[in-house]
Structure 1
Amino acid sequence: MTTTTTTTAGGIQAVKPTVSSHVRDYWARVRGGDLGTLPAVLGLLVLTLIFSVARPDTFLSALNFANLFNQGAQVVFIAMGLVFVLLLGEIDLSAGFASGVCGAIMAILLTDEGMAWYVAVPAALLTGIVIGLVLGVLVAKLGIPSFVVTLAAFLGFQGILLTLLEGGKNISITDEFVRSLNNDSMSVLWSWVFTIVCIVGFAFVQLNRYRRRASKNLITDPLGIVLMRIGGLAVLFIAATAVLTQERAINAAITSLKGVPIVVPIIAAFLVIWTFVLGRTTYGRHVYAVGGNTEAARRAGIPVDRIRISVFVICSFMAAIGGILVVSRASSVDPNTGGSNILLYSVGAAVIGGTSLFGGKGKVINAVIGGAVIAVIDNGMGLMGFSPGTRYIVTGLILLTAASVDALARRRASATGN
């Protein structure tokens, strides 16, 4: 391995890897079963290439690119919450209809009760928190398997949704703020400001981490790799913003449609928050510890029951946000909101992105990347004229492949001691 060494004031030599050694170490980890998001990223690139070649006039258009964010928002947010549950080796089958119930609560307060959005939206979020608290207590305190609890909730929430909507009525949303969340876009100016802030923020975090670890003579990624990460993200964000700030209205003479969809900074904000929580806090370390070995975590003094309850609260809270966004997108709510394929797509997004079904391995970014894969499949195959049945089959096969890769990777990691 090619490395460089530096000598500290105390005469201790600290080994610093070079770019070439870092690449070799990464490849060794991949061969040892530590795949991370690599399969999902490669799959996303391949799918994008296939649909771009098959439908270059529509799939690559600015209008369709923006629609991918709006269409996939609900799945991404529910998948973010499911990552926390899956990290403990649990499952939440009720997240889809829980999002529908929370969306219905918001719609009823807005339309039927005439309340303002700043009352209705928090009420929907509070509903999600209460749902998660109930599910978590049943699983952690009563010892009922999460599969059984959430399956019962899956059925029960369908009934609650029908009851709230009085047997099947549709409630329309007229509140402009709520409708804008998953339909409107930022101005061109604010789109570029958002992009620059994201790039500068990412660069600051990466360089600050490199500086702190280097100053303490800890092993850190080579500066060249850090700069490549920053440059790659900058190119990706600038290219995406350049596309999204193009005019994409069908009739620009009547109305103009430019800018990054408002839902994008919402996704980015929660991605940053939950990534920080899992990666930089004691709570996050406890989640991974409980997911890795529950009994060892309990003996180490970690409040296992509280951790288990909390992940269900987070999952249902994120489902509530997903429900708000899907209601915003449709400008209405009905008994099918949160149903159909939403739950399956959300679980699929988390697993396809790299979160393990066996617990202990996963990141919130997995949900975003997996959600992008699901959105591209659904959108691209729809543009190519495939039937819903074919899309379900393809998505199911990809989910099965992702689960198989996860199982094989864990077996390989166990065999190699990684």
Structure 2
Amino acid sequence: MSKDIDPGAPLLDRADERLKHEAGLGGAIRAFLDRVRSGDLGSLPVVVGLIIICVVFQTLNPIFLSPNNLVNLLFDCSTVGVIALGIVCILMVGEIDLSVGSVSGLASALLGVFWVNMGWPAVLAILAALVVGALIGSLYAALFNRFGMPSFVATLAGLLAVLGLQLYLLGSTGSINLPYGSPVVSFGQTMVMPHIVAYVLAALAGLAMFATEYRTAARRREAGLSSSSLGGLLLRAIVVTVVLEFVAFYLNQDRGVPWMFGLFVGLVVVMNYALTRTKWGRSMTAVGGNREAARRAGINVRFTYASAFVLCSVLASAGGILSAARLATSSQQAGTGDVNLNAIASAVIGGTSLFGGRGSAFSALLGIIVIQSIASGLTLLDLSSSLRYMITGAVLAIAVIVDSLARRSRVSHGRA
């Protein structure tokens, strides 16, 4: 307890008797319902939607929730999921990047050219592709910051230019096969965690969650503010740990948890920490919420925008590299088709606002699982890809409508 705070004094955020303060389990439930009614939905819509999707497809085809299908689903989630993580960054500042699919395709082509055609070590080829992605993001940032070019226009032009460069690099053959059985290809197709590693990581995730929340609660108590009880923190951590351990156990009935999905989740955790626990993350939220207010508060607005553009392009390049590893080829089709749609839809469906200032790294994780679950379910039902496009588009439209209505509700309730 801080020396400046009297232990017997009323808590600072509970001192105003005119404000409503909930206590206990019932109070927590009432507070949650109040937040939902006021438009602060969080991840609730996507979780409910995912449950509905699983129930429907499992009813229509019992293979949907089989361990083998879920392992394949996690492999497929990782490639576009990493790209969606970059989209979360750019949406957080209220901008958009329409070229992430083309940038991922260019990274795939660069991997094939440098590694296979030019004989570079795979690690150097991967680093070179990531550097090119960073340069593309820097160019977008310069066009936006220095010349005021709208991100929509800059990245649309970039989409065409980068796609042309990808086609030029691959030449008349149109594809480059990566060495089958190499560590890069094995990572994208077959490498899974040893069962014990999956169980240990699940336990560490629950422990890390408890440690983070306990530290936050301790700091609030030192500041004289209300905080969650130790029992409540333990209960949440235990529930999360049990769920993760069950997921690991279920996937281990087949091949196990893919390392590629573990990499994706690791990036999500790191990005979540950066967005919620660092000065940079608070700047991203502030700039996306109100650019002028952020500038007057002393935030380096230009740097914040630049970091968002660069991160978005680098993560798009990383997604292209993972996609090439997954398919064992660098081709002209990489990054085309529905990659852009799925990446942007994943971020929005997962809960990141198109209006800026609201979002989470976990939006990419939840959103891509929804998108990939729809694709997997329709594939198992042997339905055409046209239906997948229509259904994905409808889900995206619903997500945007929910976001817009929730934003109106937050404004009317003073929570915007």
TM-score band (shorter)? over 0.9
Alpha-carbon distance between aligned partners in 2 of 1:318 and 1:143, rounded to the nearest angstrom? 24
Contact 1:19–1:224 (Cα < 8 Å) also in 2 = no
Q: 2:248: which partner in 1?
A: 241
Q: 2:135: which partner in 1?
A: 130
Task: For residue 222 of structure 1, report the CA deviation from its aligned partner.
Answer: 4.1
2:42 matched to 1:36? Answer: yes
Alpha-carbon distance between aligned partners in 1 of 2:217 and 2:182, rounded to the nearest angstrom? 44
Match of 2:182 among 176, 179, 185: 176
3-state SS in 1 of match to 2:120: coil
Q: Deviations over 1:278-324 (max 9, x none)?
A: 10111111111111111111122211111111100000111111011
Task: For residue 227 of structure 1, report the CA deviation from its aligned partner.
Answer: 3.0
What CA RMSD, in Å, does the superposition of the two structures yield over aligned residues?
Answer: 1.6
Alpha-carbon distance between aligned partners in 1 of 2:59 and 2:289, rounded to the nearest angstrom? 43
3-state SS in 1 of match to 2:171: coil
2:307 matched to 1:300? Answer: no
Task: For residue 180 of structure 1, report the CA deviation from its aligned partner.
Answer: 2.5
Which range moves more in the overlay, 170-179 or 23-32? 170-179
Match of 2:209 among 184, 193, 202: 202
Q: Deviations over 1:12-44 (max 9, x none)?
A: 112583222122112111100111111011101
Alpha-carbon distance between aligned partners in 2 of 1:10 and 1:373, rounded to the nearest angstrom? 47
1:227-376 correspondence to structure 2 within 5 Å: 227-246=234-253, 248=254, 258-376=255-373
Identity of aligned residues (%): 36
2:92 matched to 1:92? Answer: no
Which range moves more in the overlay, 349-358 or 115-124? 115-124
Kindly tell me: are residues 215 and 19 of structure 1, through their superposed partners in 2, closer, same or farther at Cα, counting changes over 3 Å? farther
Letter in 1 for 2:95: E
Contact 1:22–1:222 (Cα < 8 Å) also in 2 = no
1:94-109 correspondence to structure 2 within 5 Å: 94-109=99-114
Alpha-carbon distance between aligned partners in 2 of 1:59 and 1:197, rounded to the nearest angstrom? 29
3-state SS in 2 of match to 1:344: helix
3-state SS in 2 of match to 1:182: helix
Letter in 2 for 1:330: L
Alpha-carbon distance between aligned partners in 2 of 1:332 and 1:228, rounded to the nearest angstrom? 46
Which range moves more in the overlay, 333-342 or 225-234? 225-234
Contact 1:17–1:221 (Cα < 8 Å) also in 2 = no
2:203 matched to 1:192? Answer: no
Q: Deviations over 1:38-71 (max 9, x none)?
A: 1011101111111112111x11211111111111
Contact 1:277–1:283 (Cα < 8 Å) also in 2 = yes
Aligned pairs, how many? 400
Task: For residue 93 of structure 1, report the CA deviation from its aligned partner.
Answer: 0.2
Q: 1:55: which partner in 2?
A: 61
Letter in 2 for 1:360: G
Q: 1:4: which partner in 2?
A: none
Contact 2:111–2:330 (Cα < 8 Å) also in 1 = no
Q: 1:399: which partner in 2?
A: 396
Letter in 1 for 2:148: G
Q: 1:3: which partner in 2?
A: none
Q: 1:159: which partner in 2?
A: 164
3-state SS in 2 of match to 1:35: coil
Contact 1:355–1:366 (Cα < 8 Å) also in 2 = yes
3-state SS in 2 of match to 1:141: helix
Q: 2:225: which partner in 1?
A: 218
Contact 1:141–1:305 (Cα < 8 Å) also in 2 = no
Task: For residue 224 of structure 1, report the CA deviation from its aligned partner.
Answer: 4.5
Alpha-carbon distance between aligned partners in 1 of 2:27 and 2:172, rounded to the nearest angstrom? 63
Q: Deviations over 1:160-210 (max 9, x none)?
A: 110010145211111622112222212223222222222222232223333
Q: 2:23: which partner in 1?
A: 17
Contact 1:92–1:150 (Cα < 8 Å) also in 2 = yes
3-state SS in 1 of match to 2:31: helix
Alpha-carbon distance between aligned partners in 1 of 2:221 and 2:172, rounded to the nearest angstrom? 63
Q: 2:17: which partner in 1?
A: none
Task: For residue 215 of structure 1, report the CA deviation from its aligned partner.
Answer: 4.3
3-state SS in 1 of match to 2:147: coil
Letter in 1 for 2:137: G
Alpha-carbon distance between aligned partners in 1 of 2:365 and 2:307, rounded to the nearest angstrom? 21
Alpha-carbon distance between aligned partners in 2 of 1:113 and 1:194, rounded to the nearest angstrom? 38
3-state SS in 2 of match to 1:13: coil
What's the TM-score once normalised by structure 2's chain length?
Answer: 0.92
Structure 1 stretches of 5 or more lacking a match? 1-7, 249-257
2:118 matched to 1:121? Answer: no
Match of 2:52 among 41, 46, 53: 46
Task: For residue 124 of structure 1, report the CA deviation from its aligned partner.
Answer: 1.4
Contact 1:168–1:335 (Cα < 8 Å) also in 2 = no
Alpha-carbon distance between aligned partners in 2 of 1:37 and 1:361, rounded to the nearest angstrom? 12
